Structure 1
Amino acid sequence: MAVLCQHKIEEQLRFISEKANRPFISWSGEMDYVDPVYFFALGQACSFRQRFYWSDRANETVYVGLGCAYSIETEEKEQRFRIVETEWKRWMEQIAFDHNGTAATPILFGGFSFDPFKTRTEKWRAFPHAKMVVPTVLLSLKNKKTTLTVTVPSKRHEEMMKKIRRLMLLLSQEQRQPTSSLPTLVKYEEAQKEEWIHAVEKTIRNIREGKFEKVVLAREARLSFADAIDPSAVLQQLREQQPFSYLFAFEQEGQCFIGASPEQLVKKEGAACYSTCLAGSIRRGKTFQEDEKLGQWLMHDEKNLREHQFVVRMIKEAIEAVCERVQMPASPQLLKLQHIQHLYTPVVGEKCRAASVLSIVEQMHPTPALGGTPRERAVKEIRETEPLDRGWYAAPIGWMDAEGNGEFAVAIRSGLLCGKETFIFAGCGVVGDSDPMSEYEETKVKFAPMLSALGVERDE
């Protein structure tokens, strides 16, 4: 069936190209179910140098992209969200596409750096301040349907078609789960641990002096392995171990930013938009009784409740600015994940006036859960005090469609795969009554999801 699909794709693309005089052409069609991690793994076998993966927390919407038909990237600091939005609208006018009876269209997938004013380090060289990509081949699993969308330039796409033919041939064969094993850990190093603890101490003093209410400080660990890490193997582990998180991967130039985030930034779906307040956390218990005790402590701890309220207040105001009505519970709930539990408050906005999901992302990033409050002063403190280049860590990552709908998560619980080296990241909210060593221990808990996905087990 897949080989026949290949001929149909080529035939339809020729037809679209002849019918419409546009620089880009795209075709979509339904196909049999394909395991999305398997599809992602096939990208490497077909020599696609860029790969993308996204699934929402309910696993109801999954996108896997291979290759790059078109990309929008900028190093502009002040207007990066608007530049991407404007370029996307302009590009949509240059494409002719055939839905073929489906609801599918090309989508734009990618992310942004946390702070464009922070000096970039070499490890983030492949990740500009904004980069979003239209995949050459997009697998969509949505509303219990599997759809393939192929997007190419209307001329000079022969090399792309060779890769697509190879992909279709492999898809026609028996599907097998990725079998790559995770290599042996050679070295584990917590980067600048003492500097980070001193930064926390300094920030606590500044908060007590009234300069801020909260500042989020992140740190990193560096892992060296005996061989290069296969992103497909890590993705498979994340899918098995973090079933209620957003899964994402963005691979290019031999580097892959990958993670399993529990935190939604914003979703726009027509006139409705959704967001999540997630702040305040503690580890999971080893027994049911211990887990319940820890959860109840979190639900009543003043520091964590205050930290959570900062996020609730900001996100509520941001959604109220673009929606006629906002609905949210009066008190937080518990969100229990494999290694950690959080205070969690869902937010729903009705009659949304925003032109696109990106315009809401621009207003919301960074929330107090990732930056602090007041926002501008907190981000400046992070820039000057934090011994880390966050790159895309803790920044928006997600997708947008032709109608401006889409969804972005906050790229936490994540790591950057660089051949035999991997960098993982974790942060915590610092307030006036924070204890530096307690905050350090919290970041160790937040390292756990990526460590586990990398096949590394460490004592808490």
Structure 2
Amino acid sequence: MEPLRSEEAAPSSAGLVSRSMRLPAAPQPKAALSAAEAPRTFWAAPDEATVVGSGTAATITADGPDRFRAVRESASELFAVGDVHAGALAARPRFFGGFAFHDEHGGDDPWAGYPGAEFVLPRVQLTYTDDGPWLTVNAVDAGPEAVEDRLETAADELTSLPTSDERTGPPGVRSRVRTTSMSEWRESVTAATDRIEAGELRKVVLAQALETTLERPLSLPDVVARLGETYPDCFRFLFEPADGGSGFFGATPEQLVGLRGRTVETGALAGTTGRGDTPEEDEWLAEELLADDKNVHEHELVADAIRDQLAPYASSIQAGQRRIRRLATVQHIETPITAELADDEHVLTLVEALHPTPAVGGLPPNEALRTIRDTEPFERGWYAAPVGWFDAAGYGSFSVAIRSAVARGDTATLFAGVGIVADSDPDREWDEVQLKYRPILDELE
């Protein structure tokens, strides 16, 4: 079957034309994603519409410490000369993409094709809402009549796709290579706790990478669909570089920030334990986690830092009750946080202010980032960085890209990290990293 057609990215100086229509029915997201043309986009999140993007009408890239502002300004320039008829709020054109974790990002393997920031405005955007599916076609190289014709053509192509949701199983893992040995890990954690005891650090998040060779090439639409069955309450994403060829995907429980109007939603997610084999054991593990001084201390560092990072923009900040967030393989301590902004702000302004939270970086932030750079023997790339979407109003939704992997052909590199504080034990932290690989590894093996 031919993929949905896409146009080449056009210069941002051209005007945006966007048209949408309600569809009586639509193929399953997996089928739409399989038929989409690179770069493919997928986004699904709690209480949000699911979106499948095909191709690109416009692409914004940026690098360095100024990448957040550069993306925001380029998108605002494009949206400012737009001719948009969305039909529904959910069908409005949106940019999807993400940022590198570090300001200095080289794009070495496995991150070839992923710059310091890249956001795609899909040529074809299929949005699944509670009220039914919507189809949107965006262009910066055509007039309204041509875009309306493309909209009709895209709708016809979608109706020809299979309505069943057949998929292949996991590809199988042939081999694994750890970038960090057990002895190197112990040395790194001990060095970090020594620096914490000396007062140079309060917390640092150290990560590992697991390089896998698969029995057969990975189907990204299939793995995203399987993650949706196991982790329906997580933020699920797929982003491909502009030239396709690879994909960064995941199912993360951690929201960085959501903005609509002046209402901000975020939260602290830090402190981890496993799941029990019985409901009684599960509850016992949760109670033990909430009573554990090390995990509670780590969690409160994150919650306090998020409130401090939001304070310059907020007229009020409210923290909910600390609670347990249960996932298929782990349990976390979670504190929901909401805020009301004092003035209108773009979501990317808040993304820049919040990244990296101490849940993936550390405290003090600059010292923690230097420690990560000096310690980790691999490139984080987009791992643990902000990924999500924003629209012309500056509203948007971003998650923290943990529980993730970057895949190309029959290889996939997985990432996982843990927070190191004064009383961290290297062996226990090693075990926690292995636990955090499971969401992605289970879908590969």
Q: TM-score by structure 2 length?
A: 0.91
* Contact preservation (8 Å) 2:135, 2:155: no
Looking at structure 2, the residues matched to 300 and 161 of structure 1 have their Cα atoms a distance apart, in angstroms, of 61
* Contact preservation (8 Å) 2:124, 2:154: no
* Contact preservation (8 Å) 1:186, 1:225: yes
Cα deviation for residue 278 of structure 1 reads: 0.3
1:373 maps onto 2:363 in alignment: yes
| Structure 2 match to 1:16 | none
Cα deviation for residue 49 of structure 1 reads: 1.6
Looking at structure 2, the residues matched to 96 and 154 of structure 1 have their Cα atoms a distance apart, in angstroms, of 12
Distance 1:245 1:162, change over 3 A: same
Larger deviation: 28-37 or 356-365?
A: 28-37
Structure 1 residue aligned with 2:33, among 7, 29, 40? 40
* Contact preservation (8 Å) 1:41, 1:178: no
Structure 1 residue aligned with 2:80, among 71, 88, 93? 93
Looking at structure 2, the residues matched to 110 and 339 of structure 1 have their Cα atoms a distance apart, in angstroms, of 27
1:84 aligned partner, one-letter code: V
1:450 aligned partner, one-letter code: I
1:343 aligned partner, one-letter code: I
1:180 maps onto 2:168 in alignment: yes
* Contact preservation (8 Å) 1:139, 1:148: yes
Cα deviation for residue 154 of structure 1 reads: 3.2
1:54 aligned partner, one-letter code: W
Residue identity over aligned pairs, in percent, reads 33
1:24 maps onto 2:11 in alignment: no
* Contact preservation (8 Å) 2:53, 2:122: yes
Structure 1 residue aligned with 2:198, among 192, 209, 230? 209
2:176 aligned partner, one-letter code: Y
Cα deviation for residue 388 of structure 1 reads: 1.9
Looking at structure 2, the residues matched to 409 and 148 of structure 1 have their Cα atoms a distance apart, in angstroms, of 24
Secondary structure at the aligned position of 2:221 is classed as helix
2:190 aligned partner, one-letter code: E
Larger deviation: 226-235 or 182-191?
A: 182-191
Secondary structure at the aligned position of 2:101 is classed as coil
| Structural mapping, 1:189-228, within 5 Å | 189-194=177-182, 195-228=184-217
Cα deviation for residue 131 of structure 1 reads: 0.5
Looking at structure 1, the residues matched to 154 and 131 of structure 2 have their Cα atoms a distance apart, in angstroms, of 26
2:263 aligned partner, one-letter code: A
1:39 aligned partner, one-letter code: A
Larger deviation: 192-201 or 402-411?
A: 192-201
1:312 maps onto 2:303 in alignment: yes
| Structural mapping, 1:57-456, within 5 Å | 57-58=46-47, 60-75=48-63, 77-100=64-87, 104-117=91-104, 119-155=106-142, 165=153, 168-194=156-182, 195-252=184-241, 253-329=244-320, 331-454=321-444, 456=445
Distance 1:405 1:163, change over 3 A: closer
Gaps of 5+ in 2: 5-12
Looking at structure 2, the residues matched to 410 and 453 of structure 1 have their Cα atoms a distance apart, in angstroms, of 20
Distance 1:56 1:241, change over 3 A: same
> Cα RMSD over matched residues?
2.4
Looking at structure 1, the residues matched to 185 and 146 of structure 2 have their Cα atoms a distance apart, in angstroms, of 51
Cα deviation for residue 192 of structure 1 reads: 2.3
Distance 1:207 1:351, change over 3 A: closer
* Contact preservation (8 Å) 1:354, 1:360: no
1:91 aligned partner, one-letter code: L
Secondary structure at the aligned position of 2:91 is classed as coil
Cα deviation for residue 95 of structure 1 reads: 2.6
Secondary structure at the aligned position of 1:169 is classed as helix
Larger deviation: 232-241 or 145-154?
A: 145-154
Looking at structure 2, the residues matched to 397 and 101 of structure 1 have their Cα atoms a distance apart, in angstroms, of 24
Secondary structure at the aligned position of 1:124 is classed as coil
Gaps of 5+ in 1: 1-5, 7-20
* Contact preservation (8 Å) 2:17, 2:147: no
Figure out how many residues of one structure are paired with residues of the other and give that number: 429
Secondary structure at the aligned position of 2:110 is classed as helix
Looking at structure 1, the residues matched to 68 and 131 of structure 2 have their Cα atoms a distance apart, in angstroms, of 32
Cα deviation for residue 70 of structure 1 reads: 0.2
Looking at structure 1, the residues matched to 439 and 198 of structure 2 have their Cα atoms a distance apart, in angstroms, of 35
